[in-house]
Structure 1
Amino acid sequence: MASAYSALLLVFFFWIYEPVSPQQSRIELGSSLSTNIPPTSWRSPSRHFAFGFYRQGSGFIVGIWLASKPDATFTWTINRDVPHVSSNATLELTKKGKLLLRRHRNNATDEEIFIANFKGSASYAQMLDSGNFVLYNEHSEAIWESFSFPTDTILGGQNLYKGGELFSRASAIDLSTGRFHLKMQDDGNLVLYPVDTLDLPLDAYWSSDTYDNPGIHLILTGTGDLLLVNQTLHEIEHVSPSGSESNSTSIIYRATLEYDGIFRLYSHNFDGGAEYIISLMWHVPVIQCEVRRLCGFNSYCTMNDDDQPDCLCLPGTAYVDPNQRFHGCERDYNEGSCKHTNEMSSLYNITVMDQIAWDDNAYFQASMSEEGCRKSCLEDCNCAGALYESGNCKKQKYPVKYAWKTEDQLSKSFFKVALEIIQRTSKKAVVLILVMSLAFITWCLVALAISGLFIFKSRVIKGRMQTESGNFGLARELTLRAFSYRELKKATKGFKEELGKGSSGAVYKGTLYKGKKAIAVKRLEKVVSESEREFLAEMRSIGKTHHKNLVRLLGYCTEGSHRLLVYEYMSNGSLANLLFRNERIPDWSDRVKIALDIAKGILYLHEECEAPIIHCDIKPQNILMDNLWTAKISDFGLAKLLVPDQTRTLTIARGTPGYMAPEWTKISTPTSVKVDVYSYGVVLLEIVFCRRNMKINVSKPEEILLSKWAYELLVARELDRLDLGEDVDRQKLEKMVMIGIWCIQDEPGLRPSMKTVVMMLEGITDVSVPPHPTSASA
């Protein structure tokens, strides 16, 4: 019986992929669609499917949809994460046999996007009744088809092969990539996961349980059956219940992973003519709340009175956005007060909840009594909650990812909540506070008046001195001091003590004001031959930058051919010395602070200063440490002043090998702030691992390139085996590695902005698992 059924499937398979009859309409070379002039789509012979432009809001979506009434149902889209095009676009099957989307821009070059990538050229195209858009060569052989690149849907006759995935849309009307995906794994298991996970068994919320069957794939038959079959179309597993057992051309079957994470199988019955009737045939999981990450962190799913899912916060947390309850919750108290265990009972209390559990990996697990479990969580600064089951206590840190309601009546959960301490103030105390406040305000007003008078007099004196020296107007505008070459030579004792040397020149230590103020003097050696006016204009831009994570520029010298810059002196040297030449590894908390300091400095240069600045050479040697071990960026704004590296004149590349973004090697690639993001990603990984990105003297070949090794350790979940110090926060470690790998993506558009990087480091924005950067495998 099984072999007979397999034979029928084989016949059905060839029926699906037989060449289309000549009677079906062909789309010839040179045919085009426009958003402004009909036709706006190419229809299948039955008129059930259309491919082209579909109006949505003020723009258009390019894709394939069921064109009959009541509503358009999309089965495939192009440029999924940027689906909309303006009302001035065309879609063309060119004379050269390429499928091209052309966006027309006013007073600018048209943007051209190739929709289908294939070898050779097409001779014609067809929109088939199966919902498949196909390009054919001169021998009527299919060379490209939309069925090979599914988005969130497969149709009758369509396969999801090994390694294939369906990604849900973001919402009912937003077709961009959403939060869930269906994966046809290499081991033969069909699994549903949230997208921002490592696709581990812990993350799965439904599977076909057909593992250990490599080579099988999913097919939706023309009779509405979802089958897992091998390469000979022999059935391995019947995923859905049996379909209609008919192959009527009036019924179209569709399986879609929808925005709520449910995989649903539908039938569209066209017996009624121009309109179709939609019927839900099957879906998994059956219970909506079984979908992982349907509710965000620190919340759990429950069904309301209307049988609709709702998300509730765990005790001790509050909604991130009360209007978006599915976005999760965050802790509603600060952990800063959690320092002394003997004070915990006065700061926190324990709330007990029955029938709430979670599947997260516990950071602590031991056998103890129920009271002991409650007390252990209360006295532990890291504990967000504890799960007590059958004498076993499991403690969990924030965030709690996979909380759910359980039917286990014996399960108890303990959650730490902050106490509200209300202090009653006596009338006498109120009077005392008012008197002290009034006295303080009066004192502040007197102090401000005296300070204002002092500042006014000091500025008058300073103005007279500047007028006498002839530098009044320029120095006041730049808020910088113009030094003579003689002054700086004397301050540095003839440029005697060299602090370091980089590509732009050497840096010397000096002192001003009779040795009371230490300075660092950079002597620029490769300055572009330009007028003094242009040099001073660049100094004006640099001089207006003021940020705690930037090395302060104090002055300059433009005397004759000399070009010198005067900076504040950084007493603790460079980050490179701290990471690579220090016998002792810096504490983990110090490394986290340094990483955030650098990110905030770059963010200021990119987005917050008056004139945005691209550094072009972020590296540990250009990160300096002050006497309080605050990281500060140096040499910013010098990219326009320095002569480009003569070995890279074609690309005008700047920066240091190992820290340079891949786009530097591409001719005519415009420079953007994303080159600094790439360099920061390399530096971040070096800070985390306390080693250089490129290291030849290693025990294993895979450890030579840090970015490649870090990604492999992250995916294998083996970061714990590294000796990075006893105080390392493992969750923070994993997050920082993921941020670093996001920053070093080859495609600039995939790299986050520095604002996003800062928000991820501060825990404001979640960090998803990054794709493998191509350069990391080089």
Structure 2
Amino acid sequence: MATLAALSSLIFLCLSQLPYYSSAVNRTLGSSLSSATDNNSSWLSPSGEFAFGFRQLNNSDLFLLAIWFNKIPERTIVWFANGDSPAPRGSTLELTTKGLVLNNPGGQMLWNASASPASATVTEAAMLDTGNFVLTGSGSDFVWESFRNPTDTILPTQTLDLGSMLFSKLTATNFSKGRFELHFDNGNVQLNPVAWPSRSIYNSYYSSGTSSIISSESGNKLVFNATGNIYIVKTNGEIAQLSPWVTITPRVDRYYRATLDSDGVFTQYAYQNNSPTNQSWWALRILPENMCTAIFNEIGSGACGFNSYCSIQNGRPSCNCPPGYVFVDPSNRLMGCRPNFRQGCGGDDGSRDPRELYEIREFNNVNWPLGDYERLEPYSQKDCEQSCIYDCSCAVAIYDGSTRCWKKKLPLSNGRYGETEGYSRVLFKVRKGDSSSGFEDNSGSRRREPILLGALLLGGSVFFNAILLVAISLVVFMWHKREAGNNAQDSSVSDTNMPCFTYKELEEATDGFKEELGRGSFGIVYKGDLRSGSRNAIAVKKLDKLVQEREREFKTELSAIGRTHHKNLVQLLGFCDEGVHRLLVYEFMSNGTLANFLFAIPKPDWYLRVRIALEIAKGLVYLHEECNIPIIHCDIKPQNILLDQHFIAKISDFGLSKLLISNQSRTFTMARGTRGYVAPEWFKNVPVTAKVDVYSFGVLLLEIICCRRSVEMECEEENRAILTDWACECYVERRLDVLVDGDETSMADKARLHKWLMIAIWCIQEDPSKRPTMKMVMQMLEGLLEVPQPPSFPSSSFSVSVEY
């Protein structure tokens, strides 16, 4: 009986398309749509239930080619074509004999739908009342249809064949590909998290279990029938439900859709189509039933982003941050959390007792079940807390209330709320004085009473304290005046609070400066070994230029990097300021420079290059916007990007950096930087801003995309000598394959490749005001901001042949 029911259902699905198409409003060859005006922006189905055309995004000048429910106020989108690269205003869609072609206002193709087979000729197109947009060939067969090319949604009468896929949006309003995918492969419907921003998938968090070694008993089609039921039809015709779903009662007065939402939940929605009152879609049923616990992978962040935890609210996953942490992107909570304080050992160099800087906050009923790196027993809770505070790597400790203490380090993954079995107390290490909004200390002992008492005492002796403060200030002023001439160490050096090594110590650590790692414009870098402490291998930069240049380089580097702490900046461990010797001690980066990595043969992996570009951008955002005193690096290039043992990118060489004082956004300074990466304003005697780093990053991004140097004067083809000029030519002529020299992996990620090339062109605009900030660049790279068409292509700025 199940076989007959399945056969009847499939026959019904095939025949049900006929009346919809026979009454369709057919569009003939040459028909077009434009995003320039509202009058010619959509084609309707015969009943007006669905529309196909352009939808404006967030009142911007960007448009999405889409299909939507047209008779409900929400006009819910069920299919879209160009989510990663929305079309600018004035773009046009044209119906040709080969299919649909979407061009921007300059005539460059943004997207196309080609007839299949390739030999087929398109005769007309139609928007059907099922929500399916179709192209028909000369034999009235469908040669392309949106139902066969789904995005995040399927509709009644739609089927998915083996090999089909749905992908979630990044957010509810961002149509870029998101963090989850639905795959129908090997007879199974599976939901998988994605290693965003790549498309690599992790293990599934839901499976229909309909795969079988006996091919006739394996799943063959996923059917969404006209009455609203969704099920799998096996090869032998049997019907299998998507567990734990059961058959629903048919209702003709409802719209249905099933969507893989941005939070990873596959949801079947319903909408009362004849209700006179205002309403919204409601969730009829969901997969999985508990998203928070469904995902459990050794790698990846889990249902929410790293360092966050997941709870279920009204059946949906809700992501939150633990104490002392804030959202990486408040507009997209799935992107995880970050500490709202600097981490490290004590005063970040071991000179202060960690108890002066850190405290433990208890935060219970939450667990991160993976990532333990140490288990201690028998331990009391106090022992557990102290162990975490004194451990540089420890971010949180879990105490079982009896004798065991588990320690975890960042990033935390698979966080979920309400899992307390075996865990009674969650102990977070946070910076003292940290004001993490939205969280209260579970212990209830925040020492408010001593603070209140202190405030009352202070208020009662204001007059006495004011006189005392004046007296102390006079004494300090006179002492400083007397000692100023004797102060042998510059304040910019002493304020860094870093270890000061003797020259002999560093000479011994480097075995007499024996192993050279590299040479820069201000000195030579040697490999060394401290032979003590938690760090062993180090890199020692020995400055060897003229005295004035050496002093300026030395003080600038100490002043700049000594105030910073970020995972994408090379960490400065200490210095030597002894007589004529000026040396800087850094963490050792075992994989060398980005230049050596990027320009090697064979080319490094595309997705690893993508990650490295994002990490460099994050480091620059930190320097420009998140430091207490913003820093312009002034010399961003592959030689100044180093890679650690895990190929994590870190920005180095701050010798040319420029610090901006409070409320300052630009500064005058002499020309500096390296040929091929220097922004044009360096040579115009005008104030420079952080946009000079944006320019250099744009050039660097092109190098990462192409795996070639910015200037190759010995290039056989003259027009390829300057990378920025050649990249712009390739962009205009849409020759991305030539730009990446046929790199198959990057061409498979063509949408990102095209978008990142546009971002690079924005960064290298000659006019600094037209360049985005690094924060905007970061958001565009991550798909959080749309990337508009660059206004113009920059002229070459490499006529200067000297290196500064």
If the TM-score is normalised by the length of the shorter chain, which range does it land in?
A: 0.5 to 0.7
Match of 1:184 in 2: 184
Q: What's the counterpart of residue 258 of structure 1?
A: 261
Please say if 1:333 is aligned against 2:362: no
Distance 1:117 1:265 in 2: 30
Residue by residue, what CA displacement relative to the aligned partner does 1:25-56 show, whole Å, maximum 9, x if unpaired?
32221222345374532222232111123455
Separation in structure 2 between the aligned mates of residue 744 and residue 13 of structure 1, nearest angstrom: 34
Instruction: For residue 314 of structure 1, report the CA deviation from its aligned partner.
Output: 1.8
Contact 1:759–1:765 at 8 Å: present in 2 too?
no
Aligned to 1:479: none
Instruction: Give a deviation string over 1:481-502, Cα, whole Å, max 9, x none.
Output: xxxxxxxxxxxxxxxxxxx9xx
**2:429 matched residue in structure 1:** 416
Residues 663 and 669, structure 1, Cα contact 8 Å, conserved in 2: no
**In structure 1, C-alpha distance between the alignment counterparts of 2:136 and 2:122, rounded to whole Å:** 5
The equivalent position to 1:382 in structure 2, one of 370, 393, 403, is: 393
Query: What is the one-letter code of the residue matched to 2:682?
Result: E
Q: In the alignment, is residue 348 of structure 1 matched against residue 358 of structure 2?
A: yes
CA distance in 1, matches of 2:56, 2:107: 21
Provide the residue aligned with 2:573 in structure 1. Answer: none
**Larger mean Cα displacement after TM superposition, 258-267 or 594-603:** 594-603
- Counterpart secondary structure, 1:80: coil
Distance 1:669 1:221 in 2: 45
Q: Distance in 1 between matches of 2:780 and 2:397?
A: 25
Deviation at 1:68, TM superposition (A): 0.9
CA-based RMSD: 5.9
Residue of structure 1 equivalent to 2:99: 98
SS of the residue corresponding to residue 15 of structure 1 reads helix
Aligned twin of 2:76 = 73
The structure-2 alpha-carbon separation of the partners of 1:6 and 1:398, relative to structure 1 and needing over 3 Å to count, comes to same
Q: Would the aligned equivalents of 1:101 and 1:114 in 2 still touch at CA under 8 Å?
A: yes
Distance, in Å, in 2 between the alignment partners of 1:576 and 1:312 is 36
Pick aligned residue for 1:749 from 747, 756, 770: 756
Deviation at 1:132, TM superposition (A): 0.8
**Mapped partners of 2:131, 2:757: distance in 1:** 31
Deviations 1:67-121 (A, max 9, x none): 11333111111211233541x3433213x343223443xxxx4344443023243
3-state DSSP of counterpart to 2:67: strand
The match for 2:322 is: 314
Letter in 2 for 1:93: L
Contact map agreement 1:101 1:115 (CA 8 A) in 2: yes
In 1, the alpha carbon distance for the partners of 2:648 and 2:33 equals 55
Correspondence for 2:12:
12
Offset from partner CA, 1:455-493 (integer Å, 9 cap, x none) = xxxxxxxxxxxxxxxxxxxxxxxxxxxxxxxxxxxxxxx
Matching of residue 234 in structure 1 with residue 244 in structure 2: no
The 3-state SS of whatever aligns with 1:116 is: strand
1:116 matched to 2:113? The reply is yes
CA distance in 2, matches of 1:206, 1:366: 35
Q: Structure 2 vs 1, CA of residues 637 and 8 (structure 1 numbering), >3 Å: closer, same or farther?
A: closer
Cα 1:345/1:192, change in 2 over 3 Å: same
Q: Tell me, yes or no, if the aligned pair for 2:307 and 2:412 is still in contact at 8 Å.
A: yes
Equivalent in 295, 299, 309 of residue 308 of structure 2:
299
Aligned to 1:512: none
Q: CA deviation at 1:387?
A: 2.9
Matched residue of 1:69: which SS?
Answer: coil
Q: What is residue 156 of structure 1 aligned with on the other side?
A: 156
Bigger shift: residues 330-339 or 272-281: 272-281
Query: Per-residue displacement from partner, 1:673-725 (whole Å, max 9, x unpaired)?
Result: x98xx89xxxxxxxxxxxxxxxxxxxxxxxxx9x99xx9xxxxxxxxxxxxxx
**Does the CA contact (< 8 Å) of 1:53 and 1:63 recur in 2?**
yes
Alignment TM-score, normalising by the size of structure 1: 0.56
Q: Does 1:596 align with 2:651?
A: yes
Q: In the aligned structure 1, how far is the partner of 2:203 from the partner of 2:282? A: 30
Q: Using the alignment, how far apart are the partners of 1:207 and 1:193 within structure 2?
A: 13
1:201 and 1:176 mapped to 2: Cα distance? 16
Contact 2:108 2:734 in 1 (8 A): no
Look up the match of 2:789. none
Q: Distance in 2 between matches of 1:260 and 1:217?
A: 25
Q: Distance in 1 between matches of 2:3 and 2:409?
A: 53
Give the structure 1 partner of residue 48 of structure 2.
47
TM-score (norm 2): 0.55
Does the residue aligned with 1:134 lie in a helix, a strand or coil? Answer: strand
* Secondary structure at the counterpart of residue 363 of structure 1: strand
Deviation at 1:403, TM superposition (A): 1.7
Given the superposition, is the C-alpha separation of residues 246 and 278 from structure 1 closer, same or farther in structure 2, using an over 3 Å criterion? same
Return closer, same or farther for 1:368/1:182 CA change in 2, 3 Å cut-off: farther
Displacement of 1:145 in angstroms is 0.9
CA distance in 2, matches of 1:765, 1:375: 42
CA distance in 1, matches of 2:752, 2:281: 43
Where 2:168 maps in the other structure, the secondary structure is strand
Identify unmatched segments of 5+ residues in structure 1: 448-499, 501-514, 519-546, 550-569, 623-634, 680-704, 712-737, 769-778
Aligned twin of 2:611:
none
Conserved 8 A contact 1:255-1:265: yes
Superposition map of 1:623-638 within 5 A: none
Give CA-to-partner distance per residue, 1:215-259, whole Å, 9 cap, x none.
Answer: 6453322221221333455334334634555485x6542101234
Q: How many residues align?
A: 557
Distance 1:19 1:303, change over 3 A: closer
Alpha-carbon offset, residue 166 of structure 1: 2.6
Residues in 1 aligned to 2:127 and 2:651: alpha-carbon distance in whole angstroms? 53
Aligned 8 A contact 1:181 1:257 in 2: yes
1:652 maps to a residue whose letter is: R
Q: 1:444, CA displacement in angstroms? A: 8.2
SS at match of 1:354: coil
For residue 131 of structure 1, what is the amino acid of its counterpart? G
Q: 1:115 to 1:303 in 2, by over 3 A?
A: same
Contact residue 223 and residue 243 of structure 1 kept, 8 A: no
Q: Report the counterpart of residue 435 of structure 1 in structure 2.
A: 475
In structure 1, how many angstroms separate the alpha carbons of the residues matched to 2:355 and 2:210? 51
CA contact (8 A) 2:711 2:721 kept: no
1:404 is aligned to 2:416: yes
Letter in 2 for 1:24: A
Alpha-carbon distance in 2 for matches of 1:299, 1:394: 18
2-structure distance, mates of 1:428, 1:742: 68
1:628-667 maps to which residues of 2 (within 5 A)? 642=713, 644-646=714-716, 648-649=717-718, 652-653=720-721
Bigger mean CA deviation after superposition, 40-49 or 271-280: 271-280
Write the distance in 2 (CA, Å) between the matches of 1:516 and 1:103: 53
- Identify which range, 335-344 or 223-232, moves more after superposition: 335-344
Name the structure, 1 or 2, with higher relative contact order (CA <8 Å, separation 6+). Answer: 2
1:437 & 1:590 partners in 2: Cα distance? 49
Is 1:610–2:671 an aligned residue pair?
no
Q: Aligned to 1:333, what secondary structure does the other structure show?
A: coil
Structure 1 residues 64 and 218 mapped into 2: Cα distance closer, same or farther (>3 Å)? same
Q: CA shift at 1:265, angstroms? A: 0.9
Task: Give the Cα–Cα distance (whole angstroms) in 1 for the partners of residues 136 and 379 of structure 2.
Answer: 71
Amino acid at match of 1:193: P
Measure the CA separation in 2 of the matches of 1:241 and 1:356.
29
- Over residues 513-556 of structure 1, what are the superposed CA-to-partner deviations in whole Å (9 max), with x where a residue is unaligned? xx9969xxxxxxxxxxxxxxxxxxxxxxxxxxxx989xxxxxxx
After TM superposition, give the deviation of residue 661 of structure 1 in Å. 13
Cα distance in structure 2, aligned partners of 1:54 and 1:238:
33
Q: Is the 8 A contact 1:378 1:416 kept in 2?
A: yes
